[in-house]
Amino acid sequence: MAFIEINGLHKWFGSFHVLRGITNQVEQGEVLVICGPSGSGKSTLIRCVNRLEEYQKGTIFFDGRDIHDPGMDVNSLRAEIGIVFQQFNLYPHLSVLKNVTLAPTKVRGVPRAEAEEMGLALLERVGIHDQAHKYPAELSGGQQQRVAIARALAMKPKCMLFDEPTSALDPEMINEVLNVMKDLARDGMTMLCVTHEMGFAREVADRVIFMDAGEVLEEAPPLEFFTNPTHERTKLFLKEIL
Amino acid sequence: MGYQFDWSLVLTGEYRDWLLDGFVLTLKISALAGVCALALGTLVAVMRLSRVKPLEWLSLAFTEFFRNTPLLVQIFFWYFGSEAFLPKAVNVWLYKQDFEFAAGTIALTVYSSAFIAEELRSGVFSIPKNQLEASRATGLNFLQAYRYVILPQAFRIVIPPLISQLLNLLKNSSLVMTIGVMELTYQARQVESFTFHGFEAFTVATLLYLAVSLSVSFAITMYNKHFLHQLRY
């Protein structure tokens, strides 16, 4: 069984059928890039993996366990899956370092000193350890998003979800975030990335999937995906964004 | 014969001490009820936001009941009615204590907590939804997410309305004189009965209430100025 197995996934928002039978497998260490027009269901799909969204039909297995099993503790599932949002969603009332150490200390019971040491190391890894005692509002968008990545990594997740992590950033800040993501990918993190950064996809993705209207229309390794898309809808989309 | 002002009567000696004793008791009952009301109000607000239907209904019933009945009736209810619904042992114990003070504190706590719960709830609503989502996504459970992420932000936002609720509590505390709690208004009334110098006695009481209200308002405005600036999303 693959590390993440999505089988026949359907989801409705009221009467709107947002996911129409998604089936996909992600192996450990794999980087999957999901692209597609807005409203295609790509964010909803990755948000189903850590149960930020509930789905009505189909199954998702994470690391061998059905995430909807009644015996499955949703909090411990989420502790193993990091997520980075488009809008960063840092805690504005806590310092950068506290943003990173909150979950490890409260969920995992890591002692404060140890958590802070780890937090500083993570902030160093994303290149902002000198801002550890500032508040999020004092940081630029790119810096805030890197803090958000460090916050997710602090739980030592087995997998990372990225929900359009660079869409809210000024162009000159996109690369500093993408570089952190590329490093993560090279270190063997399993990653599901919803993004339109095709340069990123080309460089580090193992596979790219294209979604439209709740379905996966195209799925291929990046080179093939960009040079030889089979579906008309994909060609049109690529022409528009490249 | 006109009214003869005699300020020294209420500013010196025994009558001054009565007023000061009353003032101290006003501060005591307000502070105690204030702390308890903050705790109870937080609990009621969290129940309302818990998305557990029975808890939501209980919380809604609580706030609507206590906000929409007169405080004076509630004070009488706790004072005269407690015998009917509290276990006998508890009542016996309460009578041995300062029963008036206890009943007054409970009434003020419960009444104020209903308003505080509503202020907190609206404060929580003003926190962007993605804060709860982001904290739950790291594995914090519902209570932890509220304890560490949502409520600290909500408290900062609701500090101005909360303070005005606490100042209401201070002013409302004058009503417990009706069950014989010897707080400031009660003592001013006493001075009036003994001396017929009601104007002076109530002027002193008024100025004392005003002094506390204004200084609390001022302190909180300063504190607030310092802390609210962080909350930008």
**Dist. CA B22–CA B45, nearest whole Å:** 33
Cα distances (Å, whole numbers) of residue B150 to A206, B39, B120, B131, B227: 38, 16, 11, 7, 16
CA distance B140 to chain A (A): 6
Buried b (16+ CB within 10 A) or exposed e, A164-194: bbbeebeeebbbbbbebbbebbeeebbbbbb
> Contact at 8 Å (CB) between A140 and A163?
no
Using 50, 70 and 90 to split pLDDT, how confident is the model at B155? confident
Q: Can you tell me which residue has the tokens 């300020």? A: B7
Nearest CA in chain B to A82: B138
Per-residue pLDDT of B182-212, as tens digits, reads: 999 999 999 999 988 889 999 999 999 999 9
Per-residue pLDDT of B38-70, as tens digits, reads: 999 999 998 998 889 999 999 999 999 999 999
Average pLDDT over residues A94-122: 96
Flag whether residue B87 sits within 8 Å of chain A, measured between CB atoms: no
**Dist. CA B81–CA B184, nearest whole Å:** 25
Whether A7 has a pLDDT exceeding 90, the answer reads yes
Indicate if the alpha-carbon torsion angle B100, B101, B102, B108 is positive or negative.
positive
Which of residues A228 and B93 earns the better pLDDT score?
A228
- Cβ-defined contact of A91 to B131 (cutoff 8 Å): yes
Domains within chain B, CATH numbers bracketed:
7-230 (1.10.3720.10)
Indicate if the alpha-carbon torsion angle B145, B146, B150, B153 is positive or negative.
negative
- Cβ-defined contact of A76 to B139 (cutoff 8 Å): yes
Using 50, 70 and 90 to split pLDDT, how confident is the model at B35? very high
- What integer pLDDT is reported at residue B230 of this predicted model? 62
Per-residue pLDDT of B123-152, as tens digits, reads: 888 999 999 999 999 999 999 999 999 988
What is the percentage of chain B residues whose pLDDT exceeds 90? Answer: 62
Structure tokens at A214: 């709740």
Whether A221 has a pLDDT exceeding 90, the answer reads yes
Whether A110 has a pLDDT exceeding 90, the answer reads yes
The predicted model scores a pTM of 0.77
Per-residue pLDDT of A70-107, as tens digits, reads: 888 999 999 999 999 999 999 999 999 999 999 999 99
Using 50, 70 and 90 to split pLDDT, how confident is the model at B81? confident
Number of A to B CB contacts under 8 A, please give it: 68
Q: Nearest Cβ partner of B230 from A52, A102, A137?
A: A137
Per-residue pLDDT of A161-220, as tens digits, reads: 999 999 999 999 999 999 999 999 999 999 999 999 999 999 999 999 999 999 999 999
With beta carbons under 8 A apart, name residues in chain B contacting A137.
229-232
Burial of B139 (0-12, 13-18, 19+ CB in 10 A): buried
Whether B225 has a pLDDT exceeding 80, the answer reads no
- What integer pLDDT is reported at residue A45 of this predicted model? 97
**Dist. CA A214–CA A234, nearest whole Å:** 14
Q: Nearest Cβ partner of A92 from B133, B139, B231?
A: B231
- Tell me the Ramachandran region of residue A239: left when phi exceeds 0, alpha when psi lies from -120 to 50, beta otherwise: alpha
Query: Which residues 118-157 on chain B approach chain A with CB closer than 8 angstroms?
Result: 128, 130-131, 133-141, 144, 148-149, 152-153, 156
Per-residue pLDDT of B162-186, as tens digits, reads: 888 999 999 999 999 999 999 999 9
Q: What is the DSSP letter of B141?
A: -
Whether A56 has a pLDDT exceeding 90, the answer reads yes
With beta carbons under 8 A apart, name residues in chain B contacting A89.
128, 130-131, 133-134
Cα distances (Å, whole numbers) of residue A86 to A143, A163, B49, B189: 13, 6, 26, 63
- Cβ-defined contact of A92 to B133 (cutoff 8 Å): no
**Dist. CA B163–CA B12, nearest whole Å:** 33
Q: Nearest Cβ partner of A106 from B144, B156, B233?
A: B144
Q: What is the 3-state secondary structure (H, E, C) of chain A?
A: CCCEEEEEEEEEECCEEEEEEEEEEECCCCEEEEECCCCCCHHHHHHHHCCCCCCCEEEEEECCEECCCCCCCHHHHHHCEEEECCCCCCCCCCCHHHHHHHHHHHHCCCCHHHHHHHHHHHHHHCCCHHHCCCCHHHCCHHHHHHHHHHHHHCCCCCEEEEECCCCCCCHHHHHHHHHHHHHHHHCCCEEEEECCCHHHHHHHCCEEEEEECCEEEEEECHHHHHHCCCCHHHHHHHHHHC
In sequence order, which residues have a C-beta less than 8 Å from that of residue A56 and are 6 or more positions away? A10, A11, A12
| Site from A44, A77, A106 to mutate, B interface, most B CB atoms within 10 angstroms | A106
Q: Nearest Cβ partner of A75 from B131, B133, B141?
A: B141
> What's the distance, CA B159 to chain centroid?
14
- What integer pLDDT is reported at residue A132 of this predicted model? 95
Instruction: Read off the amino acid at residue B211.
Output: A
Indicate if the alpha-carbon torsion angle A12, A13, A14, A18 is positive or negative.
negative
Average pLDDT over residues B112-118: 96
- Cβ-defined contact of A92 to B134 (cutoff 8 Å): no
- Cβ-defined contact of A91 to B134 (cutoff 8 Å): yes
What is the three-class DSSP state of B49? coil
- What integer pLDDT is reported at residue B1 of this predicted model? 60
What is the percentage of chain B residues whose pLDDT exceeds 70? Answer: 97
Nearest CA in chain B to A149: B138
CA distance B83 to chain A (A): 44
- What integer pLDDT is reported at residue B157 of this predicted model? 85
Provide the ipTM. 0.91
- What integer pLDDT is reported at residue B228 of this predicted model? 65
- Cβ-defined contact of A93 to B140 (cutoff 8 Å): no
Structure tokens at A202: 């080309």
**Residue B99's closest CA among B32, B27, B176?**
B176
The residues of A whose Cβ lies within 8 A of any Cβ of B are: 50, 52, 75-76, 78-79, 82-83, 85, 87, 89-93, 102-103, 106-107, 135, 137, 151-152, 155
| Site from B129, B138, B150, B231 to mutate, A interface, most A CB atoms within 10 angstroms | B138
Structure tokens at A100: 């990173």
With beta carbons under 8 A apart, name residues in chain B contacting A159.
none
Whether B232 has a pLDDT exceeding 80, the answer reads no
Average pLDDT over residues B102-108: 93
Point out which residues pair with A62 in neighbouring strands.
A4, A65
Whether B24 has a pLDDT exceeding 70, the answer reads yes
